[in-house]
Amino acid sequence: MPPLDRLIRTLISTQGAISLAAYMELALQHPDHGYYRVRNPVGRAGDFITAPEISQMFGEMIGVWCAETWRILGKPTPFALIELGPGRGAMMQDILRATAHVEGFHAAKNLCLIDSNQLLREEQSAKLRAHAPNHFDDLAQIPPMPSLILANEFFDALPTRAFAKTFRGWAEHMVTIENDALTLALRPLEEAEHALIPPTEHDALPGTVIEFSPQAQSLMRDLSRRLAAQTGAMLIIDYGYTAPPHAPTVQAVSNHAFANIFDRPGEVDLTAHVDFAALRDISLNAGLRASPIIGQGEFLKNLGIDLRAETLKRHATPAQSAEIATALCRLTDDAQMGSLFKVMEINFSRTP
């Protein structure tokens, strides 16, 4: 039994059931055993592959977005180029290569990476050494200045609470022990907790499930306040929704396949679909502008990924050309990542 499994069982045995969010927090961020603290999960040898690992074209298109957004903002100097959860550094490496010839961009940037994983920090530092990356534990540590903030597959890994409508009213999904196994149970909400349920869901049918991430919403408020105070822009790319699916979305992945969320806590990835509408509303309340939420495929095509693919093919072998076509399809096709992954841009509201 993994050590974190024993720790969670002891916690439940002594204190009672814990929320799904508390379980995710322990499984992902426990200082000694958390999945994102002690593992290198990205890549073919890990548990999942992110878009930057699929093709250099993804990061290059984000680089195009960064350069154009920086120009629209008036080319602020200096500015913070911030990435939340940079993984193995592949996306930032491609961004910086794509912007190498943008006059003034590299000289103006302060590269700021937020990551809790020491193994990944070391890999990021090695790949990005020429650009003097600075690592931070959280946003508050980054000095105030205009910012370009990137969050690719970051919000989905933040702990999520889940609530289910029963015939007796709303209840929260809790993690408990039954028949010597970790499992979900329902805890009826107390009167004051009903304020957590959006008014639009008060008349939901039994069986309806809604989720929200307190950490995601808190972080979005902090990010929005930074942009409102310092100017800048933010790009969020993740799998998620604009209208609640009314079904559970918390899932586990291990070795590139779905797993049980209670299978070896601390050793499998846990994620939940991102509520883009909630994040958008927080940014609007801070006085920022939010773009229409579109699919990743549409976003990348708008930036010119098809043309970039054709350019790469001209200097490729037949085998490489086929790989480029496959990667392009995977990133943009609606049957793959093209529509499941959503993109939202947040900008400082003052007209440049």
pLDDT at 49 over 80: no
Q: What is the pLDDT of residue 38?
A: 73
Q: What is the pLDDT of residue 351?
A: 39
**Can you say how many angstroms the Cα of residue 95 is from the centroid of all Cα atoms in its chain?**
18
Q: Report pLDDT for 350.
A: 47
- 3-state SS of 142-182 is CCCCCEEEEEECCHHHCCCEEEEEECCEEEEEEEEEECCEE
Tell me the range of 42-56, 98-112, 116-130 where mean pLDDT is highest: 98-112
Q: For the segment 173-228, what is each residue's pLDDT rounded down to a tens digit?
A: 999 999 999 999 999 999 999 999 999 998 999 999 999 999 999 999 999 999 99
Q: Are 320 and 297 in contact (CB under 8 A)?
A: no
Cβ neighbours around 100 below 10 Å, total: 10
> Strand, helix or coil at 332?
helix
Token pair 């993740």 in the structure block, residue: 238
CA 258-260-262 angle, 5° bins: 140
What is the SS3 assignment for 86? Answer: coil
Token pair 């883009």 in the structure block, residue: 276
Selection from 214, 93, 238, 270 nearest residue 154 by Cα: 238
Q: Are 97 and 66 in contact (CB under 8 A)?
A: no
Under the banding of pLDDT at 50, 70 and 90, the label for residue 2 is confident
Structure-token match 């604009």, residue found: 242
Name which of 38-42, 159-163, 219-223, 273-277 the model is least confident about. Answer: 38-42
Predicted local distance difference test score (pLDDT) of residue 41:
60
* H/E run at residue 228: helix 214-230
The 10s digit of each residue's pLDDT in 63-115 is: 999 999 999 999 999 999 999 999 999 999 999 999 999 999 999 999 999 99
What backbone torsions phi and psi does residue 88 show, to the nearest 5 degrees? -90, 5
Q: How confident is the model at residue 35 (pLDDT cuts 50, 70, 90)?
A: confident
Estimate the crossing angle of helix 90-98 against helix 118-127, to 10 degrees: 20
Q: What is the pLDDT of residue 42?
A: 63
Q: Supply 36's token pair.
A: 């994102």
- Residue 7, strand partner residues: none
Residue 293 DSSP one-character state: P
Q: Return the CATH fold of 37-158+213-305+337-347.
A: Rossmann fold (3.40.50)
Between 259 and 346, the higher pLDDT residue: 346
pLDDT of residue 254: 83
How much is the mean pLDDT over the chain? 93
Length of the chain measured in residues: 352
- Model confidence, pTM: 0.94
What is the token pair recorded at 76? 């602020």
Percentage of residues in the chain with pLDDT exceeding 70?
96
295 pLDDT band (50/70/90 cuts)?
very high
pLDDT score recorded for residue 44: 55
Residues 56, 63: Cα–Cα separation, whole Å: 11
